[in-house]
């Protein structure tokens, strides 16, 4: 498999990623976590794990996801709070609720919710 290497500041290290990664979810998709009770909207995607080693090591070893899969940045919510989450593809599924996510950061990134997903603000599109 052909790979690319690049420096990722938030990880503080070089990252190797496949040139053709296969993300199951897209920016604007509403997802839920397979193990924990929260849902969120995808606002960014890393083709492989690209967070810090400290973050990765803080996950209990028996629950640590593989590094060689897409990881998603989510505007997340649970019954108690709103926050930003970083979740592996193996731990996400499409949200069957179909409703909007109640997160204060949504309006900064997305301009509307329709057909079960968010539409990225025009000013943020490439």
Give the residue numbers spanning the domain of 119: 3-124
pLDDT digits (tens, 9 = 90+) for 44-82: 999 999 999 999 999 999 999 999 899 999 999 999 999
CA–CA dist 64, 66 (Å, integer): 7
Q: Are 62 and 70 in contact (CB under 8 A)?
A: no
Single pTM value for the model: 0.84
Query: What are the respective helix, strand and coil percentages of the chain, to the nearest 5?
Result: 15, 40, 45
CATH number for the domain spanning 13: value is 2.30.30.390
pLDDT for the residue 98: 81
Query: Quick one: how far is CA 59 from the chain centroid?
Result: 16
Count up the domains in the chain and report the number.
Answer: 1
Lowest mean pLDDT among 2-6, 36-40, 49-53: 2-6
Report whether pLDDT(125) > 60.
yes
């Amino acid at each position: 498999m052909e790979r690319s290497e690049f420096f990722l500041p938030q990880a503080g290290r070089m990252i190797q990623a496949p040139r053709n990664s296969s993300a199951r979810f897209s920016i604007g998709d509403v997802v839920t976590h397979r193990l924990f009770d929260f849902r969120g909207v995808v606002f960014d995607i890393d083709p492989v794990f690209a967070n810090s080693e400290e973050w990765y090591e803080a996950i209990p070893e028996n629950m640590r996801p593989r590094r060689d899969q897409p990881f998603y940045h989510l505007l997340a919510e649970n019954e108690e709070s709103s926050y930003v989450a970083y979740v592996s593809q193996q731990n996400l599924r499409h949200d069957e609720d179909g409703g909007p996510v109640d997160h204060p950061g949504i309006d900064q990134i997305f301009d509307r919710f329709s057909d079960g997903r968010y539409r990225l603000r025009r000013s943020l599109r490439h």
